[in-house]
Structure 1
């Protein structure tokens, strides 16, 4: 693959029910700034050429005023509304890239959870190197705990070898044409009655509907996702150290 354009889709449409907060987790303050700010700032300061921000219904005004304008984030070129499920939001972002005509077939797209504020230049560069070579990559780290497969009654049914397990993160990175086609084919399959309820990340979509193998590249244990109130405290300490 030659020199290509790199476009990020940053997802900020989640509600975060486990946070026990009326404020969506991506807008909670982290050292005085919204959680979402940190992901957008990382993209702003990197090789990424443009950012599509996908937010919840009615949140575009807040994002423009309190994030894009306030912090002068020039790479955010469009704000689109998310969908019911994560994969709906991703597809909306991909369709916006196509509508704006800012990506060719061989250009790369980086799909990132806005609730992962510790994405940094090292991780983005690792993803860039791998997606340009392998067409599809996701950052991942070895799991630290033993993982159990449970049966429907809550009993341990199997214990996979820990050495074969990796915890997958974002940004998940693909050639734009591969991601767009995979998501389009998935939508068509779902409309035809296919069950896609087991799909939990973008790599699964590309693997299943584009038939492309996804390379796992080096992730970071710091690249955690805000899921519980305790995560805010952990991330505040991480960001202070950085």
Structure 2
């Protein structure tokens, strides 16, 4: 983070959200605890944040049913930046609130990064860019342009035609959101407080919460990479392994 000295810069905490159960993977264990190139997916994600000079502390939010196994993974890493392993909530937004509550003693000016544990190939440059943008605007997310045509669907006229295309926005203005997403703690606290008070709140990602409940806040977008995939389906592990191998080969030749 530029523009700050060690005495004035905000503290940056990364919360790695490992609360998913990975039902679409069809595995016995949550996807973040599956193996990728000799380490769990969670370990890969944690290692990048722990090694980042832009991150001061790391929290791990785990599904309660697998918190003991998650603690064993964290103990194996033995990194002093990891300050706690905590139970998450039923929904993604609940888990985010658990992270916010864990930092109740931190000032509003501090930063919180929220990252999906199932994105093990996040780049250090993405973390740095997210921290810088969140410092400037109060909210930021890594995102990439969509390469697919996205359409808005509408109900079809008959059971044989269940959906039709209602609208086809231009791809040039569309982005696919990734993580980390970064926020000033005060911004995220206010947004989630308002969301909790709304009986019609629909769970969404944290940038969506800020957009809806703090519309005056600009959510900055910083460039991500295609490598920063979210492991969701069984075939994604093979893709991630290939990408990880390519990254390792590039590092060895530079």
Give your verdict on TM over 0.5. yes
For residue 69 of structure 2, the aligned residue among 58, 62, 75 is: 62
For residue 89 of structure 1, the aligned residue among 88, 91, 95 is: 95
Would you say how many aligned residue pairs link Structure 1 and Structure 2?
233
How far apart, CA to CA, are the structure 2 residues paired with 1:230 and 1:115? 14
For residue 149 of structure 1, the aligned residue among 148, 152, 157 is: 152
- Which stretches of structure 1, 4 residues or longer, exceed 2 Å deviation after superposition? none
> How far does residue 137 in structure 1 lie from its aligned partner after superposition?
0.7
The equivalent residue for 2:137 is 134
| Equivalent position SS for 1:208 | helix
How far apart, CA to CA, are the structure 1 residues paired with 2:147 and 2:57? 35
User: 8 Å contact 1:68–1:74 — kept in the other structure?
Assistant: no
* TM, length-normalised to structure 2: 0.88
> Alpha-carbon deviations, 1:29-83, whole Å to 9, x = none?
0011111111110111002111111100132221221x22112122111121111
The equivalent residue for 1:78 is 84
User: Is residue 2:48 matched to residue 1:48?
Assistant: no
User: Is residue 2:184 matched to residue 1:175?
Assistant: yes
Please, which runs of 5 or more residues in structure 1 have no aligned partner?
Answer: none
How far apart, CA to CA, are the structure 2 residues paired with 1:58 and 1:160? 41
The equivalent residue for 2:205 is 201
> How far does residue 218 in structure 1 lie from its aligned partner after superposition?
0.8
The equivalent residue for 1:110 is 113
The equivalent residue for 2:251 is none
User: 8 Å contact 1:40–1:73 — kept in the other structure?
Assistant: no
> How far does residue 123 in structure 1 lie from its aligned partner after superposition?
0.8
Please, which runs of 5 or more residues in structure 2 have no aligned partner?
Answer: 156-161, 248-254
Tell me how large the CA RMSD over aligned residues is. 1.3
Greater Rg by CA: 2
How far apart, CA to CA, are the structure 2 residues paired with 1:89 and 1:132? 23
The equivalent residue for 1:235 is 240
